[in-house]
């Protein structure tokens, strides 16, 4: 396994649409292994292949505290959503930035595993947000494109209080 460099915002590749994976071979397996290692080393909960400079529809995800829920999704597509959640998101490609996004509360994703077998995965809460975030990367969409700006009431103290 090898640690890969994470592409940062400003690199045009992050805005490109990734191509489907057609060959399920040792090159794909190496990419998946490298992405896992890179995600864990950088304390991420998800990583898309485009974030390591590869325009293929591949993501890895592990939202668990103990790193026990690792998933590899090849050619993922969202097939169903329920509810909504407004939460803060960050991204390994936008270090130091975060913002509130509106995402589904529950997501079902159809994807292939490293051997090409189709599976359906269900994500709730953070995992649902992570699935959406990483699949967005495959379409050239960043979380900042989905950021919501809700009105906040600001109260000023003009020194009239005594």
Distance CA 25, CA 96 (A): 36
Helices (H), the chain: 26-41, 126-138
- Token reading at 106: 């529950």
Burial of 72 (0-12, 13-18, 19+ CB in 10 A): buried
Residues labelled catalytic:
134
Among candidate residues 154, 59, 152, the one with its CA nearest the CA of residue 113: 59
Any idea what DSSP says for residue 32? H
């Amino acid at each position: 396994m090898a640690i890969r460099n994470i592409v940062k915002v400003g690199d045009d590749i992050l805005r490109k649409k990734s191509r489907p994976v057609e060959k399920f071979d040792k090159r794909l397996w190496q990419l998946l292994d490298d992405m896992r290692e890179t995600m864990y080393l950088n304390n991420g909960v998800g990583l898309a292949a485009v974030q390591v400079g590869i325009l293929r529809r591949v993501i890895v995800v592990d939202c668990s505290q103990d790193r026990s829920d690792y998933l590899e999704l090849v050619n993922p597509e969202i097939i169903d959503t329920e509810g909504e959640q407004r939460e803060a998101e960050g991204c390994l490609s936008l270090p130091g930035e975060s913002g509130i996004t509106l995402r589904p509360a529950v997501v079902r994703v159809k994807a292939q595993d490293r051997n090409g077998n189709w599976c359906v995965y269900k994500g709730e809460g953070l995992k649902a947000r992570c699935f959406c975030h990483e699949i967005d990367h495959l379409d050239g969409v960043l979380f900042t494109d989905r950021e919501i700006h809700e009105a906040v009431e600001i109260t000023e103290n003009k020194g009239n209080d005594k």
